[in-house]
Amino acid sequence: ATLAAGGEEEGRRRLTAWLRDGIAAYEDRNDDLAGDATSRLSPHLHFGTLSPVELVHRARREGGAGADAFVRQLAWRDFHRQVLAARPAAATADYRTRGDRWRPEREAAGDIAAWREGRTGYPIVDAAMRQLRHEGWMHNRGRLLTASFLTKTLYVDWRVGARHFLDLLVDGDVANNQLNWQWVAGTGTDTRPNRVLNPVLQAKRYDPEGRYVRRWVPELAEVEGTRVHEPWRLGDDDRAALGYPAPVVGLGEGLERFRRARGR
Min separation Cβ 250 and ligand FAD, Å: 23
Among residues 32, 135, 157, 171, the one that binds ligand FAD under rule CB under 6 A: 171
Stretch that binds ligand FAD, among 69-77, 200-208, 222-230, 235-243 (CB under 6 A): 69-77
Show contacts with ligand FAD in window 16-45 (CB under 6 A).
Answer: 30, 38-42, 45
Determine, following the binding rule CB under 6 A, whether residue 119 of this chain makes contact with ligand FAD.
no
Among residues 12, 58, 77, 163, the one that binds ligand FAD under rule CB under 6 A: 77
Min separation Cβ 225 and ligand FAD, Å: 27
User: Cα–chain-centroid distance for residue 10?
Assistant: 24
Determine, following the binding rule CB under 6 A, whether residue 180 of this chain makes contact with ligand FAD.
yes
Determine, following the binding rule CB under 6 A, whether residue 203 of this chain makes contact with ligand FAD.
no
Determine, following the binding rule CB under 6 A, whether residue 173 of this chain makes contact with ligand FAD.
yes
Show contacts with ligand FAD in window 44-63 (CB under 6 A).
Answer: 45-46
* Burial letters 130-140, b for 16+ CB under 10 A, else e: bbbbebbbbbe
Determine, following the binding rule CB under 6 A, whether residue 80 of this chain makes contact with ligand FAD.
yes
Q: Are 14 and 44 in contact (CB under 8 A)?
A: yes
Q: Nearest-CA neighbor of 71 among 29, 28, 26?
A: 26
Site size with ligand FAD, rule: CB under 6 A: 27
DSSP per-residue string spanning 79-135: HHHHHHHH-GGGGTS-SS-----PPPTTTTHHHHHHHHHT-SS-HHHHHHHHHHHHH
Q: Are 95 and 189 in contact (CB under 8 A)?
A: yes
Stretch that binds ligand FAD, among 2-10, 84-92, 123-131, 167-175 (CB under 6 A): 167-175
Q: Which residues contact 9 (CB under 8 A, 6 or more apart)?
A: none
Determine, following the binding rule CB under 6 A, whether residue 202 of this chain makes contact with ligand FAD.
no
Q: Are 107 and 154 in contact (CB under 8 A)?
A: no
For 110, half-sphere exposure in the C-beta direction (CA atoms, 13 angstrom radius) is: 5
Determine, following the binding rule CB under 6 A, whether residue 14 of this chain makes contact with ligand FAD.
no
The contact set with ligand FAD (CB under 6 A) reads 30, 38-42, 45-46, 73-74, 76-77, 80, 140, 143-144, 147, 165, 169, 171-173, 176-177, 180-181, 184
